[in-house]
Structure 1
Amino acid sequence: MSLSSKLDDFHRQTTENRWLWLFSIFCRIILAVGFIPPGIMKIMGERFTVLSVNHPMGNYLEALHHTGYYYTMIGVMQVVAGVLLLIPRTVILGAFIYFPIILNICILSLAVRFEGSRITSPLMVLANLYLICWYYPAWKSILPFNRPARQSLRAKWRELHPQFPFKFFSGVALAFTAVILFAVFGNELVPRNTLKECRTQCDESDNPAACYTFCDCIHKEGQPLNKCLETYNNASGK
Structure 2
Amino acid sequence: MTFEKLRTNGLNQWIIIHLRYLVAFAFFPSGITKLLGNRFTMLSTDTPIGYFFEAMYRTGFYWNFLGLCQVVAGILLMTQRYAVLGTLMFLAILSNIWIITISLSFTGTWVITSLMMVAVIILLIWDHHKLLPVLGYNRSMTVKFYPDPGRIWINAGIIYTVCLLYLSFSGTVPRDLELWISRSLVLTVGFTFLFTNYKMYRKRSLLLKNQE
Does the alignment reach a TM-score above 0.5?
A: yes
Selected match of 2:92 from 100, 121, 125: 100
What displacement does 1:138 show?
1.1
What amino acid is aligned across from residue 113 of structure 1 in structure 2?
Answer: S
Q: 2-side partners of 1:23 and 1:146: how far apart?
A: 35
Give yes or no for the alignment of 1:115 onto 2:102: no
> Which deviations, in whole Å up to 9, do the C-alpha atoms of 1:23-42 show, x marking residues without a partner?
21221111111111110010
* Counterpart mapping for 1:5-16 below 5 A: 10-16=2-8
1:124 aligns with 2:124: no
> Cα distance, 1:48 vs. partner?
1.5
Corresponding residue of 1:223: none
- SS state at 1:94 partner: helix
**CA apart distance, 1:122:** 0.8
Find the partner of 2:76 among 69, 84, 87.
84
Residues 40 and 149 of structure 1: CA distance in aligned 2, closer, same or farther (over 3 Å): closer
State the AA in 2 paired with 1:131. Answer: L
Whether 1:64 and 2:56 are equivalent positions in the alignment is yes
User: How far apart, CA to CA, are the structure 1 residues paired with 2:44 and 2:139?
Assistant: 51
- Does residue 73 of structure 1 match 2:65? yes
Give deviations 1:17-61, integer Å, cap 9, x for gaps.
222212212211111111111100101111121222122221110
Please give the secondary structure, in 2, of the residue aligned with 1:103: helix
Q: Verify: 1:32 aligned to 2:24, yes or no.
A: yes
Aligned mates of 2:38, 2:7 — CA distance in 1: 41
Q: Which residue of 1 aligns with 2:131?
A: 139
Rate the CA distance shift 1:146–1:110 in 2: closer, same or farther, 3 A. farther
Distance 1:141 1:87 in 2: 23
Which whole-Å CA distance do the structure 2 matches of 1:149 and 1:110 have between them?
39
Alpha-carbon distance change, 146 to 95 in structure 1, aligned in 2, over 3 angstroms: farther
Q: 2:35 — aligned with what? A: 43
Q: Distance in 2 between matches of 1:146 and 1:28?
A: 32
What CA distance in whole angstroms lies between the structure 2 residues aligned with 1:26 and 1:102? 19
2: CA distance, partners of 1:87 / 1:58: 34
Is 1:140–1:146's contact at 8 Å kept on the other side of the alignment?
Answer: no
TM-score, normalised relative to structure 1? 0.56
1:149 deviates by 4.1
The structure with the largest alpha-carbon Rg is 1
Structure ranking higher on relative contact order (CA contacts 8 Å, 6+ apart): 2
Q: Separation in 1 of the partners of 2:37 and 2:19?
A: 28
Structure 1 residue runs of 5 or longer lacking an equivalent are: 1-8, 151-238
Q: CA RMSD in A?
A: 2.0
